[in-house]
Amino acid sequence: MPMEVEFLGRVDYAPTYAAMQKFTAERSEGTPDVLWICEHAPVYTQGLAGKKEHIFNPGDIPVVATNRGGQVTYHGPGQVVAYPLLDLKRAGYFVKEYVYRIEEAVIRTLLQLGVTGHRVAGAPGIYVRLDDPSGHALLPQRPMKSGADPNFSGLGKIAALGIKVSRNCTYHGVALNVAMDLEPYSRINPCGYTGLQTIDLSTIGVVASWQEVAEVFSLKLAVSLDP
């Protein structure tokens, strides 16, 4: 049975983070899984691996330290943020497949909007070809060899992923950029990568409202994460 979806509207990041932690700490084996869909006021969030030097000019945008994986990212208006609160043990799959299923939901959402999303080996999230957002040609394998840094040339990142698993239950999640002010990304190294370009749907010519994308994305996620 697909998870229940709750649309929270525009909410501040810190209390939402606290609510995720509370929900996860208090849930039992019988607690239904739920997917929270929301939008945040401008905020930088720093993952457990985060390094201060990757945030070089936060200005008046607050920086919140979190316990998710990964480095720094930005949340702001015009971005659909999805928080799956899922019991992986009950779902019957592990973290690696969970990440794959989230990325697959992003790819299927983009496809419905006429955009081809790509994975880059070693760099969670979804990327788009800047010169051909709707083209279906596969990317060359990146990185080309084990241990090499990911190659983002010609790509823009359109969805960022950062998760936490506690007692087999997930929180934090994924953010898909719809129509944002992208300037705050220029003040950080997104996900810890110098010069990684971040894009949104409007930048590549897709005209869609936050609500339209949120509804498609929430449906794709609920189906993709269903055991």
Give me the domains of the chain, ranges plus CATH numbers.
Answer: 4-113+157-225 (3.30.930.10)
The number of C-alpha atoms within 13 Å of 24 and in the hemisphere containing its C-beta is: 24
CB-based contacts of 68, cutoff 8 Å, min separation 6: 45, 47, 48, 162, 163, 164, 172
117-152, pLDDT tens digit by residue?
999 988 899 999 999 999 988 887 655 566 677 888
In the predicted model, what is the mean pLDDT of residues 95-116? 97
Output the average pLDDT for the chain: 93
pLDDT of residue 1: 65
Residue 72 has pLDDT above 70, yes or no: yes
pLDDT of residue 136: 86
In the predicted model, what is the mean pLDDT of residues 86-95? 96
Q: Give the residue numbers annotated as catalytic, written as ranges.
A: 191
pLDDT of residue 49: 84
